[in-house]
Homo-oligomer: A and B are copies of this chain.
């Protein structure tokens, strides 16, 4: 879904408003694995994912990559806290496929928030939506077995599960890659 359609769907901007808003976004073509943000840097941009899948991840104390969130097409992606509070990012952000994204800096975004009541609404709606998604995930992780967590992933992100390496999904679901591999095998047999 193009960013234009996405914005129109959520809030009924006028043509003029929409044009102005879109003019503050930059289209970027990025290739697979090219880092957009690195752990320790301040994340300066918010991205809309038009094509591709992104993720943010960090290296734990054993140097293992832990995927925190995936961002599919039609989602806004950033290193949340870093972007909004201009603090060093705890996460790396990257695209997992060659991708087309649209970026906007914090200043430009704030400017749009100031200028348009409707833009502020858009921000609120997106933030609330994201919040409910994260709460869902939290629920899945907090008290479910490895098998149930995999099933949650299957229903919630069927598009993503077959497009990214197993190890990333495993860490996203809070289990080892070996465990996920065994679960998946057992699933297929059933």
Which positions in A face B, CB cutoff 8 Å?
60, 66, 68-69, 80-81, 84, 113, 117, 120-121, 123-124, 127-128, 130-132, 134-135, 137-139, 141-143, 171, 174
Tell me the minimal C-beta distance from A88 to chain B in angstroms. 14
Tell me the minimal C-beta distance from A115 to chain B in angstroms. 10
A142: contacting residue among B113, B132, B174, CB under 8 A: B174
Q: Across the interface, name the chain B residue whose C-beta is closest to A115.
A: B117
A134 proximity list for chain B (CB < 8 A):
131, 134-135, 138
A84 and B132 contacting across the interface, CB-CB below 8 Å: yes
Contact residues of A: prevailing secondary structure = helix
Interface centre among A68, A123, A135, A139, by most chain B C-beta atoms within 10 angstroms, is A135
Give the docked Cα–Cα distance between A128 and B80 (Å): 9
Q: Across the interface, name the chain B residue whose C-beta is closest to A116.
A: B117
Give the docked Cα–Cα distance between A169 and B80 (Å): 26
List 8 A-B residue pairs with CB atoms under 8 Å apart, sorted by A's residue number: A66-B142, A68-B135, A69-B135, A80-B132, A127-B128, A134-B135, A137-B138, A143-B174
A143 proximity list for chain B (CB < 8 A):
60, 66, 171, 174
Give the docked Cα–Cα distance between A137 and B141 (Å): 11
